[in-house]
Structure 1
Amino acid sequence: MIIHLKKIAAGTCLMLAALHPVIHAQERVSEQSVTLTLEQAVEYAIEHSKTLKSSDIDLEMKKRASANSWNVFLPNMSLTGTMNRSTEYSPSSAAMNQLISSITHTEAASDFADEESRWAVVGGFTFGWTFTPAYIGQIMQSHANYELQKITWEQTRRDTIINIKKIYYGLLLQEQSLNIQRTTLENARKRAEQAEANYKNGLIPELSLLQTQVSYENQKPDLEQAERSYRQSLDMLAFLIGLPVGTNITLNGTIEPEYVKVDYDTLIEQYGYSSLDLQSLNENIHLTNLGLKTLTLATYFPALSLNYSWQPAYMGKAFSFAGDIGKDDMWYDSGSLSLTVAWNLTNMLPWSTNQQQAKDLKQVKKQLAMTRETLSENQKVQVRKAVDTLIESKAQIENMSRNISLAQRAYDATLKAYRSGTTELLDLRDAENSLNQAKLGLANQKFNYISALLDLENTLNTTLTRTDGNGDKK
Structure 2
Amino acid sequence: MRKSLSLILMMTWAALLWSDPKALTIEDALQIAKDNNYSLKANDVSLHTAVKKEKAAWNVFMPTMNLSMTYAKSNEVSTTSALTPVPSSFSPGDNSFDKVQVMSFDSKDSLVAQMTAQLNLNLAIGNGIKALKLNSESASLDRQVAWQDTALDVQKSFYQILLLQKQRAILQSQYQTMEQRLKDVRNMYNNGYSTELDLLQVQVGLERMKPSLTQMDEGIKNGIKGLTYKLGLPQEQEITLVGEISVDDLSGVEGDLDSSLTLLQLDNNLEQLENAKKAAFYQNLPTLTLGWGYNPILGNPTDGDKYSSFSDYFDSDNWSDQGSLTITLSMPLDAWLPFSSSQMDIDGYKDQIKALGYQKLSATEGLAVQLKSLRSTLVSQSQTITASLKGRDLAKRTYDLTKVAYRSGTKTYYELKSAEDDYLSAEFDYISSQYDYLMTYLDLKYNLGQF
Per mean C-alpha deviation after superposition, the further-off stretch among 355-364 and 400-409 is 400-409
Matched residue type, 1:303: T
Deviation at 1:398, TM superposition (A): 1.1
Contact kept? 2:388, 2:429, Cα under 8 Å: yes
Matched residue type, 1:302: P
Contact kept? 1:58, 1:149, Cα under 8 Å: yes
Deviation at 1:120, TM superposition (A): 2.2
Q: Does 1:387 align with 2:371?
A: no
Contact kept? 2:111, 2:297, Cα under 8 Å: yes
What secondary structure sits across from 1:314 in the alignment? strand
Deviation at 1:241, TM superposition (A): 0.8
Q: Does 1:333 align with 2:318?
A: no
Q: What is the rounded CA distance, in whole Å, between the counterparts of 2:432 and 2:312 in structure 1?
A: 96
Superposed CA deviations along residues 81-119 of structure 1, whole A, max 9, x for unmatched, are 1222232157x69xxxxxxxxxxxxxxxxxxxxxx9533
Matched residue type, 1:243: L
Per mean C-alpha deviation after superposition, the further-off stretch among 284-293 and 172-181 is 284-293
Deviation at 1:249, TM superposition (A): 1.8
Contact kept? 2:122, 2:286, Cα under 8 Å: yes
More helix by proportion, 1 or 2? 1
Q: For 2:335, which of 333, 347, 356 is the aligned residue? A: 347
Q: What is the rounded CA distance, in whole Å, between the counterparts of 2:58 and 2:141 in structure 1?
A: 23
Q: For 1:69, which of 42, 57, 75 is the aligned residue? A: 57
Q: What is the rounded CA distance, in whole Å, between the counterparts of 1:121 and 1:72 in structure 2?
A: 33
Q: For 2:294, which of 299, 310, 319 is the aligned residue? A: 310
What secondary structure sits across from 1:255 in the alignment? coil
Q: Which consecutive unaligned segments of at least 5 residues does structure 1 have?
A: 1-29, 94-115, 463-468, 470-474
Q: What is the rounded CA distance, in whole Å, between the counterparts of 1:180 and 1:60 in structure 2?
A: 49
Q: Does 1:298 align with 2:288?
A: no
Q: For 1:277, which of 262, 277, 281 is the aligned residue? A: 262
Contact kept? 1:349, 1:355, Cα under 8 Å: yes
Partner of 1:286: 271
Q: What is the rounded CA distance, in whole Å, between the counterparts of 2:250 and 2:24 in structure 1?
A: 25
Partner of 2:162: 172
Number of equivalent positions:
403
Q: What is the rounded CA distance, in whole Å, between the counterparts of 1:384 and 1:262 in structure 2?
A: 15
Q: Does 1:151 align with 2:141?
A: yes
Partner of 1:363: 351
Q: Following superposition of structure 1 onto structure 2, how do residues 166-205 of structure 1 map, counting pairs within 5 Å?
A: 166-196=156-186
Partner of 2:447: 459
Q: Following superposition of structure 1 onto structure 2, how do residues 22-421 of structure 1 map, counting pairs within 5 Å?
A: 32-89=20-77, 118-196=108-186, 207-258=197-248, 270-299=255-284, 301-316=285-300, 318=302, 322-325=310-313, 327=315, 329-410=317-398
Call closer, same or farther: CA 1:195–1:285 in 2, change over 3 Å.
same
Superposed CA deviations along residues 255-293 of structure 1, whole A, max 9, x for unmatched, are 001466869xxx5xx523121111111222222221222
Superposed CA deviations along residues 315-370 of structure 1, whole A, max 9, x for unmatched, are 35529661414655533332222111001121122212222222222222222222
Q: What is the rounded CA distance, in whole Å, between the counterparts of 2:311 and 2:184 in structure 1?
A: 118
Deviation at 1:238, TM superposition (A): 0.5
Matched residue type, 2:264: Q
The percentage of aligned residue pairs carrying the same residue is 27
Contact kept? 2:177, 2:417, Cα under 8 Å: no
Per mean C-alpha deviation after superposition, the further-off stretch among 183-192 and 122-131 is 183-192
Contact kept? 2:63, 2:117, Cα under 8 Å: yes
Call closer, same or farther: CA 1:159–1:414 in 2, change over 3 Å.
same
Q: What is the rounded CA distance, in whole Å, between the counterparts of 2:333 and 2:209 in structure 1?
A: 83
What secondary structure sits across from 2:211 in the alignment? helix
Contact kept? 1:262, 1:387, Cα under 8 Å: no
Q: What is the rounded CA distance, in whole Å, between the counterparts of 2:186 and 2:115 in structure 1?
A: 103
Matched residue type, 2:49: M
Partner of 2:86: none
Matched residue type, 1:285: L
Call closer, same or farther: CA 1:125–1:177 in 2, change over 3 Å.
same
Matched residue type, 2:292: Y
Contact kept? 1:144, 1:283, Cα under 8 Å: yes
Q: What is the rounded CA distance, in whole Å, between the counterparts of 2:168 and 2:269 in structure 1?
A: 47
Contact kept? 2:247, 2:437, Cα under 8 Å: yes
Call closer, same or farther: CA 1:133–1:202 in 2, change over 3 Å.
same
Q: What is the rounded CA distance, in whole Å, between the counterparts of 2:257 and 2:316 in structure 1?
A: 80
Call closer, same or farther: CA 1:141–1:365 in 2, change over 3 Å.
same
Partner of 1:444: 432
Matched residue type, 1:121: L
Call closer, same or farther: CA 1:317–1:450 in 2, change over 3 Å.
closer
Deviation at 1:206, TM superposition (A): 5.2
Superposed CA deviations along residues 202-236 of structure 1, whole A, max 9, x for unmatched, are 66555554444443333222111211111111111
Matched residue type, 1:333: D
Call closer, same or farther: CA 1:85–1:360 in 2, change over 3 Å.
closer
Matched residue type, 1:280: Q
Aligned Cα RMSD in Å?
A: 3.2
Q: What is the rounded CA distance, in whole Å, between the counterparts of 1:222 and 1:398 in structure 2?
A: 30
What secondary structure sits across from 2:220 in the alignment? helix
Q: What is the rounded CA distance, in whole Å, between the counterparts of 2:137 and 2:63 in structure 1?
A: 28
Deviation at 1:428, TM superposition (A): 9.1
Call closer, same or farther: CA 1:381–1:167 in 2, change over 3 Å.
same
Partner of 1:110: none
Q: What is the rounded CA distance, in whole Å, between the counterparts of 2:411 and 2:151 in structure 1?
A: 54
